[in-house]
C-alpha cells in the first residue's frame, strides 16, 4: 500500500459501553431480541441501567473498538466521532488518547444531547444484546470531517450505524469522496442486521461508489443480498468489485475477492462474551492488509484477534495482541 502518515482513520459513533450479565428471562421481560441492536431514548437508557448490575464501563463504538485494536497492534491510527463536553465524552477522549489514537473531533456544547452510551446485555451463551442511546454521536456533521486527515490515511473505515442520521450520512459521503480523490482505500462495516434492513439502499449506493473492503457477519450479508443462505450470499459477493470479509461465529469466516472465496477456521476458545468480536476481527484483518498480507492470512489474523476478545468482558483488548500474533507465527 502507498505510504501515508496514518494507517487507518475510523469514522463512527463515539459510545461508552455499559456491560452487564443477564439471563434470557431478563430479555423476555423487557421485550428485547437476543443478539440485536435497539435504539433507545435517554429515559429508556436510565430505566434499563437501574435494573442491571454493571460489570464494566468502557469506551466503545464498533469502529472505535477496531481503531483501538489497530493501535494496540502498533499502527498509527485516528478516529472521527462526536461526543459532548461532559464526563462520558471526556472519558471517551481520554481512553483513545491513552492508546495514542489521534482524536480531535470538536466536542458538542450547550443544549446538545449527552455523549452516547450502549447498554450491552450479555447472556450465558455469550450472545450480546445492545441497547443504544445515540445521544450526540449521530450528530456528526460534514464540517467534522478532517479532509487532511482523510487524505493522509491509507484506509478510511466507516461504521454502518452512522447511516441512521442524515447529517452523519452526508459526513460519510464527504469522507468517501475525499478518500477516493486522495487514493485512500475505503472499508465499510454493515454493523447490524437491522442497520442493513433500514439502510440497504444507501449501502448499495455507497458500495457502488467504490468501497474496497466490506465487513459483515453471516446474517448481515444474507440480509443485504436478500437471499436465503450463506452460499447464495457468497455468490452475490463474487459479483461485486470489493473484498468481503464475512464472519460466521464458531464456523470461522469467509473472505471473497475477485470471484473466488477462501474459508478460515475459527479459533477454539472458551467464549465468555462475544461483544466486540467482529470489531477485533476487522482490526486483525486490516492489520494484515496494511502489511500487504494475502487475504487468507488477513482472515487468520482477524480470527486470532477476535478469539482473544471473546474470552473477556468488554470490546477492548486487555492483553498484548502483538505477542498473541507473534505466538501464532505472524
Domain locations in the chain as residue ranges: 6-327
Distance CA 308, CA 323 (A): 12
Q: What pLDDT does residue 308 have? A: 85
Please state at what angle helix 218-225 crosses helix 230-237, rounded to 10 degrees: 70
Distance CA 313, CA 73 (A): 20
- Beta strands at 116-122 and 102-103: parallel, antiparallel or unpaired: unpaired
The one-digit pLDDT tens for each residue of the chain (330 residues) are 567 999 999 999 999 988 899 999 999 998 999 988 888 999 999 999 999 998 888 888 899 999 999 999 999 999 999 999 999 999 999 999 999 999 999 999 999 999 999 998 989 887 889 899 989 998 999 999 999 999 999 999 999 999 988 899 999 999 999 999 999 999 999 998 889 999 999 999 999 888 999 999 999 999 999 999 999 999 999 999 999 999 998 899 999 999 999 999 988 887 766 667 899 999 999 999 999 999 999 999 999 999 887 777 666 777 788 888 888 888
* Residue 229, SS3 per DSSP: coil
Provide CB contacts within 8 A for 301, sequence distance 6+.
Answer: 284, 285, 287, 288, 293, 325, 330
Quick check: 111 and 136 in contact, CB under 8 A?
no
Could you confirm whether domain 6-327 is CATH 2.115.10.20?
A: no
Q: What pLDDT does residue 38 have? A: 87
Query: In the structure, how many helices (H) and strands (E) does the chain have?
Result: 12, 14
Q: pTM of the full predicted structure? A: 0.89
Q: What residues form DSSP beta bridges with 17?
A: 58, 118
Tens of pLDDT, residues 274-292: 667 899 999 999 999 999 9
Amino acid at each position: 500500500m502507498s505510504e501515508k502518515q496514518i494507517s487507518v482513520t475510523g469514522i463512527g459513533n463515539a459510545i461508552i459501553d455499559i456491560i452487564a450479565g443477564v439471563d434470557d428471562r431478563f430479555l423476555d421481560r423487557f421485550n428485547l431480541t437476543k443478539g440485536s441492536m435497539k435504539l433507545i431514548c435517554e429515559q429508556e437508557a436510565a430505566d434499563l441501567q437501574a435494573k442491571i448490575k454493571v460489570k464494566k464501563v468502557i469506551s466503545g463504538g464498533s469502529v472505535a473498538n477496531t481503531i483501538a485494536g489497530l493501535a494496540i497492534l502498533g499502527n498509527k491510527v485516528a478516529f472521527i466521532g462526536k461526543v459532548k463536553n461532559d464526563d462520558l465524552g471526556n472519558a471517551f477522549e481520554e481512553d483513545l488518547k491513552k492508546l495514542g489514537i489521534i482524536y480531535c473531533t470538536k466536542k458538542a456544547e450547550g443544549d446538545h444531547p449527552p455523549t452516547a452510551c450502549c447498554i450491552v446485555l450479555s447472556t450465558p451463551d455469550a450472545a450480546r444484546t445492545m441497547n443504544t442511546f445515540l445521544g450526540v454521536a449521530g450528530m456528526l456533521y460534514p464540517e467534522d470531517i478532517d479532509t487532511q486527515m482523510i487524505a493522509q490515511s491509507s484506509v478510511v473505515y466507516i461504521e454502518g450505524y452512522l447511516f441512521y442520521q442524515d447529517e452523519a450520512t452526508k459526513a460519510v459521503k464527504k469522507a468517501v469522496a475525499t478518500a477516493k480523490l486522495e487514493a485512500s482505500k475505503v472499508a465499510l462495516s454493515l454493523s447490524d442486521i437491522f442497520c442493513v434492513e433500514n439502510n440497504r439502499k444507501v449501502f448499495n449506493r455507497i458500495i457502488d461508489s467504490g468501497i474496497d473492503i466490506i465487513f459483515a457477519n453471516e446474517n448481515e450479508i444474507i440480509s443485504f443480498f436478500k437471499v436465503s443462505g450463506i452460499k447464495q450470499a457468497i455468490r452475490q459477493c463474487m459479483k461485486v468489485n470489493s473484498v468481503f470479509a464475512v464472519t460466521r461465529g464458531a464456523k470461522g469466516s469467509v473472505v471473497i475477492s475477485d470471484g473466488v472465496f477462501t474459508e478460515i477456521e475459527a479459533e477454539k476458545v472458551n467464549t465468555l462474551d462475544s461483544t466486540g468480536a467482529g470489531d477485533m476481527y476487522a482490526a486483525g484483518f486490516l492489520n494484515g492488509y496494511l502489511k500487504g498480507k494475502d487475504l487468507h492470512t488477513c482472515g487468520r489474523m482477524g480470527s486470532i484477534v477476535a478469539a482473544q476478545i471473546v474470552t473477556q468482558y468488554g470490546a477492548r483488548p486487555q492483553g498484548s495482541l502483538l505477542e498473541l500474533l507473534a505466538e501464532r507465527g505472524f
